[in-house]
Amino acid sequence: MKSLIKKSKKEKVNAKVQQAQCCAKTSSSPAGCHD
Amino acid sequence: MQASRFNIISRIKDSPDYFVINILSGNADIISPGEARLLEGDSALTPNEFRQKGYIVDPVQEMLQYRLKYIDFIEKREQEEVQVFFVPTYQCNFSCSYCYQSEYPESPASLSSKVTDAFFNFLETRLKGRKKYITLFGGEPFLGGKSYKDSLAYFIERCATSDIEIAAVTNGYHLDEYFEMLSAARVREIQLTLDGPEQMHNLRRPHKGGMPTFKRIVENLEKCLALGYSVNLRVVVDRENINELPALARFAIERGWTSNPNFKTQLGRNYELHYCQSAKGKLFTRLELYQELHQLIKIHPEILEFHKPAFSVSKFLAENGSLPEPLFDSCPACKSEWALDFSGKVYSCTATVGKPGEEIGTFFPEIQLDDKSISFWQERDTLHIEKCAACNLQLACGGGCGSVAKNQFGNLLAPDCRPVKELLELGMDLYLNS
């Protein structure tokens, strides 16, 4: 079992960041979230 | 104690090893096939570490944590910056092979100053107190022609005097003619599109008059970078041009774009939204696109210098050493996104803007909003989509796109599922399996 979480780097990230990662939504993306 | 309902367990592509990811507990591990079997089998036999990491849980405690995280998500979203799209015209000077707006109604040749004033009035009333920025969208927001330019100049002047940041989604053809106008405003980002190297791009994104467009867009992109603007280069991908991605990546690297901190990229899957003209055979499903990308990157790793695909939360995990917060909703419509157009209509987002029947109100000649429709959009999240409730992927998927779900199932509260597990299998191989 090998952890992929690096505790020292763990940062609080907000939901917006999560959204950007999951949906490729950027500040001007026209199709970020619908794709 | 039992296995968490949010465990995502699968085998890493081309590896004997497995991964377990739990977004609610914030843990992720590479595990052996034996450990994977244990985790999917009798929870009494699992090592204590599985309990500590939230892979084996007390379901009552887990539900409590789930609810607390949901409240946290909703609170943060209400503080989020709002992106307000504005469509000054649906006209476009390009004739892209896959345009989803091709059957939208005709637009007038210029934007009325009364509409511009009403738009800013909407921001000051309906979105009062919210942090916000404006994104110009189209059609093509940067068209040639003096009368149109003059009308947009007033809009940009209002952005500047209101001190609201502006972004633009443009094909880039006439962009240089707008630099002077934009210099008065705070510009957050300019999004341009290239669909491959010169020949492929020109085939897919010709000017309406049939002229090639690649050279002019490249020139304008480089002018943007020279002026210090942030450039977001979008590539719309399908089976026709995917194999040209390595060549486009090398072109961008050779031109020095990828070493510029103001340059970023996105890949947009060509897909059927409303009226896409593209032949269906050209389109990738979400998973097919990422499977192709995975293969291409293995052969042409330089693609990663140009664009690093997310593969669900894989990239985030690799780059941050942590998982993102649970995503209870991936649809920003009427929450952190609104879309308004030159005709005075209000829509939920860029997927619906301009589509007849999707209006949720007006801001001109007066503000009149359909609060019932808006409530439907606003309540859409994984807690309100019945099919999401039983899904272990919900906190990575967020329920997908409301507009796509509505088009597909006739119901906003239907899921638009993302192939999270399969994407993780690919992404874990590319970014974390060393």
A5/B322 touch (CB, cutoff 8 Å), yes or no: yes
The pLDDT value given to residue A9 = 47
* Number of residues written out for chain B: 434
- Fold category of B81-309 in CATH: TIM Barrel (3.20.20)
Contact assessment for residue B271 and residue B303, using Cβ atoms and an 8 Å cutoff: no
B324/A27 touch (CB, cutoff 8 Å), yes or no: no
Using CA atoms, how far apart are residues B101 and A3, in angstroms rounded to an integer? Answer: 46
Q: Is the pLDDT of residue A17 over 80?
A: no
CA distance B227 to chain A (A): 19
B349/A34 touch (CB, cutoff 8 Å), yes or no: yes
* Number of residues written out for chain A: 35
The pLDDT value given to residue A30 = 40
Closest CA to B243 of B197, B205, B191, B283: B197
> In whole numbers, what is the pLDDT of chain A averaged over residues?
53
pLDDT tens-digit map of B279-332: 667 889 999 999 999 999 999 999 999 999 999 999 999 999 999 999 999 999
Residue of B nearest to A18 (CA): B324
The pLDDT value given to residue B105 = 65
Closest CA to B160 of B127, B193, B187, B130: B187
Q: Is the pLDDT of residue A29 over 50?
A: no
The pLDDT value given to residue B230 = 96
A18/B83 touch (CB, cutoff 8 Å), yes or no: no
ipTM of the complex: 0.85
The pLDDT value given to residue B37 = 92
Q: Is the pLDDT of residue A5 over 90?
A: yes
Using CA atoms, how far apart are residues B238 and B288, in angstroms rounded to an integer? Answer: 10
Window 1-35 of A: residues touching B by CB (8 A cutoff) are 1-11, 13-19, 21-35
Per-residue confidence at A27, pLDDT binned at 50, 70, 90?
very low
The pLDDT value given to residue B103 = 66
Phi first, then psi: give them for residue B74, nearest 5 degrees: -65, -40
CA distance A3 to chain B (A): 4
Task: Tell me, rounded to whole angstroms, the distance of Cα B261 from its chain centroid.
Answer: 21
Contacts of A28 in chain B (CB under 8 A): 135, 167-169, 188-191, 232
CA distance A11 to chain B (A): 7
Q: Is the pLDDT of residue A20 over 60?
A: no
Closest CA to B202 of B219, B217, B214, B218: B214
For residue B406, the cross-strand partners are none
Strands laid side by side in the B166-169 sheet = B263-269, B231-237, B187-193, B166-169, B132-136, B82-87, B337-341, B345-347, B361-362, B368-369
Query: Which residue from A2, A3, A21 is facing B313, i.e. has the nearest CB?
Result: A21
Start-end of H helices in B347-401 = 371-379, 386-389, 394-397
Query: Low-confidence residues of chain B, pLDDT below 70?
Result: 43, 102-105, 272-280
pTM: 0.91
Q: Please state the domain extents for chain B.
A: 2-75, 81-309
Q: Is the pLDDT of residue A10 over 70?
A: no
For residue B84, the cross-strand partners are B134, B338
The pLDDT value given to residue B269 = 84
The pLDDT value given to residue B383 = 96
Using CA atoms, how far apart are residues B279 and B110, in angstroms rounded to an integer? Answer: 33
Contact assessment for residue B130 and residue B158, using Cβ atoms and an 8 Å cutoff: no
The pLDDT value given to residue B167 = 95
Contacts of B169 in chain A (CB under 8 A): 28-30
CA distance A8 to chain B (A): 8
Per-residue confidence at A14, pLDDT binned at 50, 70, 90?
very low
A4/B28 touch (CB, cutoff 8 Å), yes or no: yes
CA distance A19 to chain B (A): 6
Q: Which residue has the tokens 């509505």?
A: B406
